Amino acid sequence: MISLRSERRAAGAVIARNFSLIRRYLGWELVFAFYNAVNALTIGLIGLAEPGPGQGLRVLYLSIGALLWNFLSVLFFEVSNSVMWERWEGTIEYSFMAPVRRVTYLFGVCAYAVVYGLARTIVVLVAIALFFRVPLAQADLPGALVVLAASSVPFIGLGLFGAIMPMLSAERGAQATQVIQGVILLVSGIYYPISVLPHWLQPVSWLSPATYTLSAVRGAVLQGQSVASLLPTALGLLAAGAVLVPAGLYAFAVAERYALRTGKLKRNG
C-alpha cells in the first residue's frame, strides 16, 4: 500500500512538473493554441468553398478531422517528445536517476498528455462552435466520446515508440518523430476519405489507429451511430493499445539501457 501510494505521488509530481513548464512558457502555449484554432477554422472554411445543400456537412466533416487530429497529435507529440524537452531543460539525467520506476514516470507523462490534449481540443472546439453553425441534430456525442477515449490508448503506445528517437539521437530524434506523425496524418483520412489515396498506400492506412477513430467518430456525429454500434471499434482500439503500450514500454526500456551504456544521455542536444 505504501509503495502504491508513493508511486501515485511520483506520477502526480511528473504531471505537476509538466504543467509548471506550461506556466513557464505560457506565451508559447498561447501561440500554439491560437495557431491550432486558426488552423482548424481554415480547414473548416474549405467546406464553404463549394456552395450547395451539403455545405454544413462538409464543414462538419473537415472540422471533425481537425479536432481529432489536434487531440491525437498532441497525445503523440507530448509523449514522444517528453525526452526531447528533458534534454532541452538539461534534466534528463536527473529524471532517469530519480528513485522512480520508469513505468511510473511514463504513466505521469501519458496522463499529462491526455489532460493537456483535452484542454487544447476544447479550445479548438469552442473556436469552431463560435465560428461555424454546424448541424448536430442527429449526432450521438456519447458514442464519439467513447471512441475518442479508447483511441487515446493506442496513441500513447505509438508515442512511447516515438520517445525512443530523441533518446537515441539529440539532433535527429525529434525530426524522426515528426516524420512518423506526418505519415499518420497522410494515411489516416484526417481531411479526406482513405479511398482517394493511391491503391498501394491504402493498406498502410489500415495500420493506423487514427483511421478507425475518425471513421467511428464521423459515424457518430454525421450519421448518429450509437454507442452499441461503435463498441466493436472502441474495443478494437483498446486491443491495439493493449499491444502497443506494453511493446512501447519494453522498447523504451531497451533503448534506455542502450543510451546509458553508450553515454548518449550526456548530450543535451
Q: Quick check: 9 pLDDT over 70?
A: yes
Averaged pLDDT for residues 137-147: 82
User: Quick one: which of 124, 57, 114, 147 has its CA closest to 245?
Assistant: 114
Averaged pLDDT for residues 127-147: 80
Q: What is the pLDDT of residue 174?
A: 67
pTM of the shown model:
0.81
207-221 pLDDT, tens per residue? 999 999 999 998 888
Task: Please write down the HEC assignment for all residues of 64-96.
Answer: HHHHHHHHHHHHHHHHHCHHHHHHHHCCHHHHH
In order, the DSSP letters of 142-162 are HHHHHHHHHHHHHHHHHHHHH
Query: E-strand spans in the chain?
Result: none
Return d(Cα 25, Cα 17) in angstroms, integer: 13
Instruction: Work out the pLDDT band at 269, boundaries 50, 70, 90.
Output: very low
62-103 pLDDT, tens per residue? 888 888 888 888 887 777 777 777 766 666 666 667 677 777
Mean pLDDT of the chain: 82
Instruction: Work out the pLDDT band at 266, boundaries 50, 70, 90.
Output: low
Return d(Cα 35, Cα 127) in angstroms, integer: 11
Give the rounded percent of residues in the chain with a pLDDT score beyond 90.
16
* Cα distances (angstroms) measured from residue 31 to each of 25, 82, 87, 104: 10, 20, 22, 31
User: Quick one: which of 34, 128, 32, 43 has its CA closest to 81?
Assistant: 32
Give the rounded percent of residues in the chain with a pLDDT score beyond 70.
87
Written as nine digits, the cell of 255 is 533503448
Averaged pLDDT for residues 214-238: 90
User: Quick one: which of 162, 161, 164, 211 has its CA closest to 186?
Assistant: 211
User: Among 13-27, 73-87, 136-150, 246-260, which is the least confidently predicted range?
Assistant: 73-87
15-64 pLDDT, tens per residue? 887 788 788 778 888 888 888 889 888 998 888 887 767 777 788 888 88
Q: What is the pLDDT of residue 32?
A: 85
Q: What is the pLDDT of residue 58?
A: 84
